[in-house]
Amino acid sequence: MISFRGFGKTYGKQQAVRNLDLNVRAGEVVALLGPNGSGKTTSLKAAAGLVKPTTGVVLVGNPGQPSSEPDARRCLSFLPQRVAFQDSLSGQEVLNFHRQIRGVDAAHAAAALGVASLNGAVARAVSTYSGGMLQRLGLAVALLPDAPVFLLDEPTAALDPDGLEAFYKVIAKSRADGRAVLFTSHQMGDAERLADRFAILVDGVLVADIAGREMKDRLAERGNMRLRVPSLDASTLAGLRVMAPDAVFTDGELVVRGPAGMRPRVIELILARGHQIVDLVAEDGRLDDLYREMVGPQREPR
Amino acid sequence: MNLRLFAAEELKIALRSRWTQIFAVVFAILASGVAAAGYVISGGHGVQDFARTSASLVHLVVLIVPLVSLMLGVLSLSLERGAAEVVFALPVSRRTILLGRLLGLFAALALAQSFGFGLAGLLVYSQSGPEGIGDFVIVLGASFVATAVFLALAAFLSADAFGRRRTRALALALVAWVVGEVFIDLAALGLATLLPSGAASRVLILASLLNPIGALRTGALLLVEGTGAFGAASLALLRFTHGPAGATTLIACSLLAWTLVPAFWAGRRLERTDI
Ligand SMILES: Nc1ncnc2c1ncn2[C@@H]1O[C@H](COP(=O)(O)OP(=O)(O)OP(=O)(O)O)[C@@H](O)[C@H]1O
Ligand SMILES: [Mg+2]
């Protein structure tokens, strides 16, 4: 449904995206992650037909057509990173206009507006909206046409917890309805909660394209178990390090890194050697950490 | 269909804009002032009829309408980046969007001018009756033509002006106005004094034909006043075209070109811009 083929974009001398190959199928939600200035917005804008590729093509819909064709854009909805509307219009007027352009009936528009739950504010001029209200209106506009392709650039950046919850539901329903969703976010929570697949851009290069299941495995492997153990002799620690090489014991706390499946054996070994376990916490690896590992050392945005 | 939607939306937005409203009021005051001026100057005895009001209004129109069309055009057409991203991601071609918005802006400005002309017209009518009202309508027409020409130019200037580049487009519009309003005429006159008379009159002809503001002024005065009050440049043009009919035709062609060519290039430029 969304298909980047060798997509590259150069602004002047600045190469924003290089040779990107990425597909988003129907019913699939893909999170496009990466540091500031890594080319996420550029890629999304190219998919929305706003930016002309310097190399390659971006196809949308089924069968895929270049998104620079107005007709091809019938199948897509785009929510820009900093969405804006004509200041003097009210939220309702903005929706009405888009409803007419998209040929959507009024009942459907009301449903889209319900998701945004702007309530009384729809009658007010857009110029009086807060950042989050604008984003909600933008979301309502994007939801209007029931388009099979969603391109959402940091859709949650300004949402409050209620807005966030409503948004998560919308995406879950979109997936169930067979839409192709490509979104960007700096909130790893969004990505973990929503994405079936994670694509990571660094300096315009796709450095990882990982399925959700694989991501889960990788996170599980990076899990931690912390045990409160009053005493631990050296030979037991050595025994543990056969299973988990970087197990450490300091101040009565034993930290064992490794997959979840290893944990019962760790516990068994400690107990079998006659040590006591006072307390125990186990956690999966964090996406933030994995993300940092994949992105590499922090650098200034270009 | 989409064209109509974009035109109607733009008309609505433009009519709500403070700038359009201020223009309508200021234009009405100035036009009424022009209409009343002759009446007041002649001590309330002589009556400023439509014919004489029209001749004075030409100068007002040629001065103000290009400026307002350029400024309002650039301000409206160069969208905030986030708004442009929403609009141009719609399944409508950029040319259709541009044309629709231009039509809406044109309608708004034409309404504002009609309001000003209407008030001035009522004033004149109440003082001196309907005689010469045809001239008055011609000047209103010239005002519409000026609007079309300079909105097209505004569209060209703002075709790649999103976000920060708006200021640049606005500055360019101002420069274009000053150049058309004074610079070209001055330069042509200066050049003409240095050249032998044949070449000098060709320079003057070109200046009043190729400069849309000069063409508007010459064309409107020709239709309203005839050849009586012509300056050197216009007389040279008349000699060149063997009479008013030829001159009017050439001027009409020049103004048509000044509308269509910038509008076409604006569409082309917009199609090729990254948003
Ligand atoms: N219109 C433009 N002109 C010139 N350079 C641009 C333009 N838009 C983006 N860039 C450059 O392209 C690169 C990628 O920008 P992009 O907006 O795609 O990043 P991003 O991943 O969306 O970042 P963020 O997380 O901050 O939103 C950046 O280096 C940016 O400076
Ligand atoms: Mg971005």
Gap from B162 CA to chain A (nearest CA, Å) = 12
Q: Is the CB of A37 under 6 A from ligand 1?
A: yes
pLDDT of the residue at B55: 83
Q: Is the CB of A16 under 6 A from ligand 1?
A: yes
Tell me the pLDDT band of A298, cut-offs 50, 70 and 90.
Answer: low
CA dihedral in degrees (B97, B102, B105, B107; nearest 10)?
-110
Read off the pLDDT of each residue in A39-50 and give the average, rounded to a whole number: 96
Per residue in B53-89, pLDDT (tens digit) is 888 889 899 999 999 999 999 999 999 999 999 999 9
Ligand (nearest to CA of A80): 2
Quick check: B30 pLDDT over 70?
yes
Read off the pLDDT of each residue in A266-278 and give the average, rounded to a whole number: 89
Read off the pLDDT of each residue in B191-202 and give the average, rounded to a whole number: 83
Read off the pLDDT of each residue in A4-15 and give the average, rounded to a whole number: 94
Quick check: B241 pLDDT over 90?
no
Q: Is the CB of A54 under 6 A from ligand 1?
A: no
pLDDT of the residue at A72: 94
Beta-carbon contacts of B134 under 8 Å, excluding residues fewer than 6 positions away, are B50
Candidates B86, B105, B271: best to mutate against A (most CBs of A within 10 A) is B86
Q: Residue A89 and residue B5: Cβ atoms within 8 Å?
A: no
Q: Residue A73 and residue B90: Cβ atoms within 8 Å?
A: yes
Read off the pLDDT of each residue in B179-198 and give the average, rounded to a whole number: 86
Nearest to B54 by CA among B175, B115, B125, B137: B137
Instruction: Give chain A's end-to-end CA distance (angstroms, integer).
Output: 31
Which pTM value belongs to this model? Answer: 0.88
Selecting from A70, A81, A100 the residue whose C-beta is nearest the C-beta of B91 gives A70
Q: Residue A51 and residue B274: Cβ atoms within 8 Å?
A: yes
In chain B, whose CA is at the least distance from the CA of A94? B9
Q: Residue A83 and residue B82: Cβ atoms within 8 Å?
A: yes
Q: Are the CB atoms for A44 and A78 separated by under 8 Å?
A: yes
CA angle A283/A286/A288 to nearest 5° reads 160
Quick check: B47 pLDDT over 60?
no
Looking at every residue in chain A, the average pLDDT score rounds to: 89
Selecting from B5, B13, B85 the residue whose C-beta is nearest the C-beta of A80 gives B85
CA angle B231/B232/B237 to nearest 5° reads 100
**Tokens representing residue B224 in the block:** 């309203």
The C-alpha atoms of residue A137 and residue B43 are separated, in whole angstroms, by 61
Instruction: Tell me which chain A residues have a C-beta less than 8 angstroms from the C-beta of B96.
Output: 70
Read off the pLDDT of each residue in B30-48 and give the average, rounded to a whole number: 69
Residue type, A44: L
Tell me the pLDDT band of B42, cut-offs 50, 70 and 90.
Answer: low
- By the 10 Å C-beta count (0-12 exposed, 13-18 middle, 19+ buried), B102 is classed as buried
pLDDT of the residue at B96: 96
Looking at every residue in chain B, the average pLDDT score rounds to: 88
**Tokens representing residue B271 in the block:** 């199609």
Quick check: B158 pLDDT over 90?
yes
Of A297-301, B97-101, B131-135, B210-214, minimum mean pLDDT range: A297-301
pLDDT of the residue at A3: 96
Candidates A10, A11, A44, A50: best to mutate against B (most CBs of B within 10 A) is A50
Distance A287 CA to ligand 1 centre (A): 24
Q: B46 or B88: whose pLDDT is higher? A: B88
Instruction: Tell me which chain A residues have a C-beta less than 8 angstroms from the C-beta of B275.
Output: 45, 50-51
Per residue in A175-202, pLDDT (tens digit) is 999 999 999 999 888 888 899 999 999 9
Query: In this structure, what are the phi and psi dihedrals at residue A198, rounded to the nearest 5 degrees?
Result: -120, 120
Gap from B215 CA to chain A (nearest CA, Å) = 35
**Tokens representing residue B237 in the block:** 């043009």
Pocket test for ligand 1, best of A9, A10, A11 (most atoms within 8 A of CB): A11
Of A47-56, B112-121, B218-227, B266-275, minimum mean pLDDT range: B218-227
3-state secondary structure of A157: coil
Ligand (nearest to CA of A10): 1
In chain B, whose CA is at the least distance from the CA of A85? B83
The C-alpha atoms of residue A87 and residue B83 are separated, in whole angstroms, by 10
Query: In this structure, what are the phi and psi dihedrals at residue A204, rounded to the nearest 5 degrees?
Result: 80, 5
Instruction: Tell me which chain B residues have a C-beta less than 8 angstroms from the C-beta of A84.
Output: 80-83, 86
* Residue owning the nearest CA to atom 19 of ligand 1: A37
Quick check: A290 pLDDT over 80?
no
Q: Is the CB of A77 under 6 A from ligand 1?
A: no
Quick check: A286 pLDDT over 90?
no
| A29-33, strands of its sheet edge to edge | A76-79, A149-153, A180-184, A29-33, A197-202, A205-211
Q: A282 or A155: whose pLDDT is higher? A: A155
Q: Is the CB of A299 under 6 A from ligand 1?
A: no
Q: Which helix (H) or strand (E) holds A5?
A: strand A2-11
Distance A186 CA to ligand 1 centre (A): 15
pLDDT of the residue at B172: 94
The complex's ipTM? 0.87
Contact of B271 with chain A, judged by CB distance below 8 Å, is answered with no
